[in-house]
Structure 1
Amino acid sequence: MLARRYAQCGANVVLVARRAEQLVETARLVADEGGESLVAVADICDEDQCRDAVGRALSRFGRLDVLVNNAAVPGTDQAVSEATVANWREVLETNLIAPMVLSREALRQAMIGSGCGNIQFFSSAAARLVRTKKAHYAAAKLGLSALGQTLAMEVGSLEIRVNTIVIGAVAGELVDNYVAKVAVQESAAPESVRQRLASANALARLVEPQEIADVSVWLASDAASAITGQDIFVTAGQQR
């Protein structure tokens, strides 16, 4: 949805992920919106591949105006007393370190030289509404807010803006998987679990993917030219 929304606004889109087949499908959706895209298969936990992905974007389009860091992995649920370093490392590398590396490369290769740019991080309401066995995920996602606020101070004088979008439960595959897992654990009907999840929000519903994409595009636009170093909550009113 993010890529399609940017394409609808006339942007060229660079698609970066490990799974080529999903990127190709997204590229098709971008083309359906009249947009042009570059598929860059890469493991963002690898510094060299991050550097190469940014370089390929510049080679193809000549500039890089917006970087959206939205990749994430949930890791395995573990109490801290039972935690493994491998589990923590996987979550931190993907959810926190990789966004830093991609941002660094975007700044070095493109944005600092152009004197403008927009960097976005995707955090989660789970970083503040913490739950047991999710310390690794909460720590990584809360770290993104600190990263975003610090980076905004470092590059603000260059007219580069940095913000963090904090999302709640978003309707789609990830929530469907979560609902199915909880339903099995509780021997409950999936729809009752979904309703409970939605009713925890002030709007009594889940966030729609389009709503996240709209906020991202707005933050990248001149309409948000004075917005930087902020956490923007898109949670349907989920209590923090």
Structure 2
Amino acid sequence: MIGTLLGAYLSILSAAFAAPTAEPCTRDFLKTQAAKYVAAQVAGTLGELATSSVTYTQDFKPATLGTGLLAKPLKIDFNRSTYDTTQCATYTEVIAASSTPPYVLGTQMRFTDGVLSKMETIATTTGDWLFNPSGTLKYSQQEAWTEIPEDKRDTRAVIQAAGDAYLDLFNDKTVKVPWGNPCARLEGGSYIQPSCNVGVPSGLKMTNRRYVVDEVLGTVDIFFTFGGQEPDSHQFRVENGKLRYVHTLTVMKSKST
């Protein structure tokens, strides 16, 4: 009997050491990873991002870190990141208005057990929908995306639902969107305010959505396929359950480019 109990105890102890529990994903960890990404993009080298197990896409197409846009040094004029500790993911907006050619990027990164496992970048440049990096830089810099006091933060569900409602409106005009007043929409160099409910087309489905939600900053970034065709990112800032800011990136070349 004693031998049986001892054997069971040793088996449990061995299993515990063989399969340690992963460390929880923290905000500080994600901030560090986002900073590493920005530094790597400035340098045009992988730096500390290098990993053999990462799945990387550029404009939703399979790519490699060593030959994709990350291998091209960019002069970054402004960047802003958000952090999702629930999914262990980040979203970073990068504005490289001074680079040749100029770019505005959106990058989602996801981590598994402290290691970068998936990275997706949307890269807009000259010829893309309303592309105007100097305008994007001007308006993005002047907005306040500060931390929301804890007692005033919306839940993940509320924040994501606000972004989903906006995208659902493109295909269903009966959807109730929690418009804020004021609300500002940054679309290329176009800055639409004080209402974001302007010029929303119809009959378009926004499919294949992937989310990065940050309750502290009240944001959700959604990667999706615009109208079933173009790679797109819409980032939303939600305050008191209402849309306050909307940033869009669409890889959509004009017929002349």
Instruction: Give the TM-score, by structure 1 length.
Output: 0.25
Structure number with the higher helix fraction is 1
Structure number with the higher strand fraction is 2
Instruction: Give the TM-score, by structure 2 length.
Output: 0.24
Please say which structure displays the higher CA radius of gyration.
2
